[in-house]
Structure 1
Amino acid sequence: MEGSIKFLIIALLIPIIYGELFTKNEEDDIMAFVDNVMNCRHIPGMNLAIVKGNKTWTRGFGFADMKSQREATNDTVFAIGSLGKAFTMTLLGIFIQNTNYTWNTKLNEIKGLNLQFIDEKVTREATIADLLAHRTGLSSVNDYGFIAGYPEGTDRKFLSKRTKYIPKSTEFRESFIYNNMMYMLIGYITELLGIESWEHLITSRVLEPLGMTSSKVLLSSTDVLEDNVAKPYIMPGDQLKDGHYDIYKMTPLEPAGAIMSSANDMAQWMRFNLRNGTTDDGHQLIANHLLQEAFQEHNSFRYDGAFVSQAKPKYPIDDLTKAYGYGWFISSYRDFRRIWHSGGLFSYISLIWLYPDEQIGVFANVNGPGTVAAPGYALRTILSYASDILLGQTPWLDFETACSYPSPWVNNTKYSGPETINFTNDRIDDFIGTYGNVLLPDITLSVKERGQDDRYLWLEMNRIKGELLPTAKVNDFQFRMTEPWEYAIERVLGENIVLMYQVNFTRSNNGFVEAFTMSLSGKDIMLYRKNLRFMDTDDVSSSTSKRGSFLFVVLFLISASVLN
């Protein structure tokens, strides 16, 4: 009885008020602003959640299903992508607060983990914090495996045994290398501590205690077709069309970004973080000091002190991101302290901004159009406009600039790219076969026909597919990814130039093709061999990767275009 009375008192002390957050004019302005941005940016559906103190405002806009005209509501579920990293960090914090572990515990001190890395110093010194802050220096090349889809049976325990093959991109703790694989490992650590699957733990220990009743883990591609879910859309031409549903199974990457949620549930999540880990019913789910550490700068960016930033005098206002914490970017907006994160899972793009000192949170996500820039710009302009009203600032964006952003302050540069030269190769049959790598899924090469006397070499890494284009050398090709469209479009610079991936075959002394190297992420050149399969268990460390510099300049240009 005493416990029931205590619960009632706490509940009464923290009432959640829906509405009353804006004046009628402010609400009308925000609604009109969102409608305008969705129209000019070709956004099919959107969720928007705003909290300030104990007041909450949530809305759905547009369509969750364009064919049936099912409207998006504040209970419609969207995939939130990498916003899920903070959920996984919170889950781990819930476990370590009752152990002798801390954020700074070395990985080799965690019972049952037994990770090895290509750099002995990383194996010896890396901590939980290094994984959370993206400062291991290890390559993010595993993303290609997650996008392509790993073979059946590839769980987090299995993939954790392959960490010793992840190439090294930079020195340990010297830079920021955003790495989804590291958050998969964080998820695996929670499984070791919780003695259950991450999927069950994130639901029972985080989502349910927060009252996030609509939220769930994206487990299967068919999940995006359920009645309460916003379907994904793409825009390969001038019309929106259904996205490719079969690409939404991310096993075993789920801890890095496979949570689905609604506007109402994300309002719960924002309040939880703004209240320093306290739920709506007054329960301290994660120790305050652990969450406050997550909100601090742990990996500073070395791009003139800012990353993904805009500053005066080029822009009307300052929006500066200077570091990464644990599952959160650390920044300031118009001199207000802000923590934030973005999330992208193909057509689903999300953005969350929290202002801890003002007890303000703004969240939005969309289900299309799947292009590189438009949805991200849409969310950034909407969250900027809503933040200005909440912070008592004069909005720096209007209907026109919200649609042109980042213009007129920054002009989008159009790259002409290298001249295309068509070569022929009459020995493409030599390369047919299946090749394997210990870190990424197997690749199958086959010959296809486009018509009479037009045969070409086709590459398939499960869901990743495309053509191998001949070059002047018989054993050298360039891979042009065409499937899935949702990922291939991300390989486009300024949505104008398709990036090519260099592929170089090697032959045995008797002339038979036995292997090839493929340039993928940054400087990483992955080696594929005919006598190897990904699911092989033998130690084949010589078959992982080489170092190179192909694509370095082009990828640097991509980063520069994002920063501006």
Structure 2
Amino acid sequence: MFHINMRLFLDVILIIVILRPSVFGNIFNENEELDIEKLVQTTLKCRQIPGLALTVVKGDDVWSRGFGSADISAGIPVNNSTLFAIGSVTKSFTMVLLSILLTEKKLDWTAKVMDILGPEYGFVDDYRTRESTLKDLLSHRTGLDGLEIGVISGYPKSVTREELCKKISFLPAQRAFRDGTTYNNYMYMLLGQVAEKLGGDTWENLMTSRVFRPIGMTSSRILQEPFELFKGDVARPYMMINGQFVLGTQEIYKISPLEASGAILSNGVDMAKYIRFNLNMGKTDNGTQLLDPKLLMESYTDISEYTGQQYRAITRPTFPVSDIHLGYGQGWIVGNYNGYKKVWHSGTVISYKTLAWMFPELRIGILGTSNGPAIDVQQADALTTILYHIIDRLLGFTPWINVTNVCTFPKPWQEEISMGYGPGETERVLQNAQEYTGYYDNNMLTGIKLEKDNESNTRLKFTMGHLKGNLYSTPHQDRFLMEFLSPAELYRPYMDQNNVTMKFNVSFERKNNEVATMQMYFNKVPLNFIKRGHLQPKIDTLSSGKKRLFDVLQWLKYIVLLTLTTDLL
């Protein structure tokens, strides 16, 4: 691995800041800029952030600045042109693309998803298949499980977006339909497929031609292959190991086939244009109205209770301010900061973290994005505190976050919550480890390969896409504990302050006294894997007779529907 001397890195931060790109716009006076710069410098050091870009929009004015390193080894600083992976902020772009296409088709968010996609697609039950609208998918209110393990482990290159979208019927339900928000990247993947049906081209081409170009986002692009993050004008992804910055593991940055949920690369200049486009209700800088403003407004106002992800509660009297999350809109989270409506979203692609905040009524927007140190609370707190400081200045408040507390946040107001996972359970000797080994299939996920651990008689080794680790035996026959061990970026988020990694229950079921299936309890819904008895996946690991029967029934329904209407759109 490539190691960076931490002391040397910190010593050159000041030099990098001196070489910053120019500031444009009249948002901050000289003293305010110096205060913000000092706050960011302090944050980079204490939170161990390699590089960071900030963009502020206020009306027609823009302030954009880069800090720290885009490429430490080459000595390249972050500037306004440096590209970052913005992760789930991409979801709002997919919403905008659909708004443009719906405006042309004279449709709205109540359009039925399967009326657009056709009978080859469907959900786990007929009711969801029949009733789900674009709004349901955009607001994460289908109730379908998010299958986070699938996003983490990734998919083989051979699995296409169209293929995986046609397997959505295997996505299990976690809660009742429209009963609140269950965050789901797969629904945005499916919305990308909807865009392709409406637009007659790939999501990637449509995003470039219908969104980037008209808005003037000339540098933004879609991440196609992981190696693109390690070349050119892209900020390199870093993680922190033993006090040193280490380049990220390249292969785990493959987002395909979920590009529509989080694959955009952008920079400060382009994101300023995008924020202004949203604040101007779909109007570009040259005055072109790309979409029906009503569609955009509904994305900011129609919200579903947001329970899919937990954020630190910033409320009075614990904190000196209140930052309340009201619910999930359509591609945006809607909240309230100190009495002002706040529309925002975060984005994470392993080492990359992005926060985009907008205050539509004030025509204010702020973007912060960074390139390390890999799914770390320090990185999230760094961006959050910097954005709090900036928005207070823009609102005319005395910032409650400053250089005296930016490194201790959430202290002194709130103690950090410590989580301990414990030592695990007593392991038992596996009398016949071979009976568990083999390849296990799942209709929606990359399969799992289990092998004997030649160095232990109490555990097994597993590989699931990017993930590698162990299955530890327990006192209970056929029940194991799964632990992620590689790559570092993917197991560190599941590690407590004592460096103990969270473990997940795995159980096996037998048929005729032979191991036949495996259940993984990664989330609320158990995930079932069927043993195939070999160590290599079949090409068609995502198919089943049930799905083929479902397709036939859907085709019959589609034929009947065609007899009743002349135009599904």
| TM-score normalised by structure 1 residue count | 0.88
The one-letter code of the counterpart of 2:256 is: T
Q: SS of 2:372's equivalent? A: coil
Provide the rounded CA distance (Å) in 1 between the counterparts of 2:256 and 2:117: 24
Q: SS of 1:82's equivalent? A: helix
Provide the rounded CA distance (Å) in 1 between the counterparts of 2:290 and 2:224: 25
- Asked whether 1:267 is paired with 2:272, we answer yes
Contact 1:348/1:370 (CA < 8 Å) preserved in 2? Answer: yes
Q: Deviations over 1:178-207 (max 9, x none)?
A: 100000011010011111111111111111
The one-letter code of the counterpart of 1:119 is: D
Residue of structure 2 equivalent to 1:461: 464
Contact 1:308/1:321 (CA < 8 Å) preserved in 2? Answer: no
Residue of structure 2 equivalent to 1:249: 254
Deviation at 1:425, TM superposition (A): 2.0
Residue of structure 2 equivalent to 1:3: none
Provide the rounded CA distance (Å) in 2 between the counterparts of 1:113 and 1:372: 42
Provide the rounded CA distance (Å) in 1 between the counterparts of 2:134 and 2:186: 13
Provide the rounded CA distance (Å) in 1 between the counterparts of 2:494 and 2:242: 17
Contact 1:299/1:323 (CA < 8 Å) preserved in 2? Answer: yes
Contact 2:110/2:135 (CA < 8 Å) preserved in 1? Answer: yes
- Asked whether 1:120 is paired with 2:123, we answer no
- Asked whether 1:74 is paired with 2:80, we answer yes
Provide the rounded CA distance (Å) in 1 between the counterparts of 2:505 and 2:185: 24
Deviation at 1:353, TM superposition (A): 0.6
- Asked whether 1:393 is paired with 2:392, we answer no
Q: Deviations over 1:193-228 (max 9, x none)?
A: 111111111111111111111111011010101120
**What are the within-5 Å matches in structure 2 for residues 441-452 of structure 1?**
441-450=446-455
Change (3 A) 1:354 1:113: farther
Residue of structure 1 equivalent to 2:263: 258
The one-letter code of the counterpart of 1:400 is: T
Change (3 A) 1:508 1:120: same
Residue of structure 2 equivalent to 1:63: 69
**What are the within-5 Å matches in structure 2 for residues 206-355 of structure 1?**
206-301=211-306, 308-355=312-359
Q: SS of 2:404's equivalent? A: helix
Contact 2:421/2:502 (CA < 8 Å) preserved in 1? Answer: no
Structure 2, unaligned stretches of length 5 or more? 1-22, 548-569
The one-letter code of the counterpart of 1:97 is: T
Alpha-carbon RMSD across the aligned residues, in angstroms, is 2.1
Contact 1:139/1:168 (CA < 8 Å) preserved in 2? Answer: yes
Deviation at 1:484, TM superposition (A): 2.5
Provide the rounded CA distance (Å) in 2 between the counterparts of 1:489 and 1:125: 40
Residue of structure 2 equivalent to 1:548: none
- Asked whether 1:375 is paired with 2:375, we answer no
Deviation at 1:146, TM superposition (A): 3.0
Q: Deviations over 1:241-264 (max 9, x none)?
A: 111111111111000001001111
Provide the rounded CA distance (Å) in 2 between the counterparts of 1:454 and 1:477: 13
Candidates 30, 38, 41, aligned match of 2:44: 38
Provide the rounded CA distance (Å) in 2 between the counterparts of 1:457 and 1:111: 42
Structure 1, unaligned stretches of length 5 or more? 1-16, 543-564
**What are the within-5 Å matches in structure 2 for residues 41-56 of structure 1?**
41-56=47-62
Candidates 166, 185, 192, aligned match of 1:180: 185
- Percent identity at matched positions? 36
Provide the rounded CA distance (Å) in 1 between the counterparts of 2:215 and 2:543: 44
Residue of structure 2 equivalent to 1:83: 89
**What are the within-5 Å matches in structure 2 for residues 440-519 of structure 1?**
440-450=445-455, 456-492=459-495, 497-509=500-512, 511-519=513-521
Contact 1:211/1:268 (CA < 8 Å) preserved in 2? Answer: yes
Change (3 A) 1:361 1:339: same
Contact 2:436/2:515 (CA < 8 Å) preserved in 1? Answer: yes
- Asked whether 1:438 is paired with 2:443, we answer yes
Q: Deviations over 1:311-344 (max 9, x none)?
A: 1001100111101111001111111111000000
Q: Deviations over 1:266-302 (max 9, x none)?
A: 1111111111111111111122111111111320247
Residue of structure 1 equivalent to 2:206: 201
Contact 1:165/1:541 (CA < 8 Å) preserved in 2? Answer: no
Contact 1:47/1:61 (CA < 8 Å) preserved in 2? Answer: yes
Contact 1:107/1:115 (CA < 8 Å) preserved in 2? Answer: no
Change (3 A) 1:355 1:46: same
Contact 1:272/1:279 (CA < 8 Å) preserved in 2? Answer: yes
Contact 1:515/1:530 (CA < 8 Å) preserved in 2? Answer: no
Residue of structure 1 equivalent to 2:552: none
Q: Deviations over 1:139-163 (max 9, x none)?
A: 001x322322212332221112211
The one-letter code of the counterpart of 2:217 is: M
Q: Deviations over 1:355-406 (max 9, x none)?
A: 1111111001000011431111111000010101111111011213211111
The one-letter code of the counterpart of 2:264 is: I
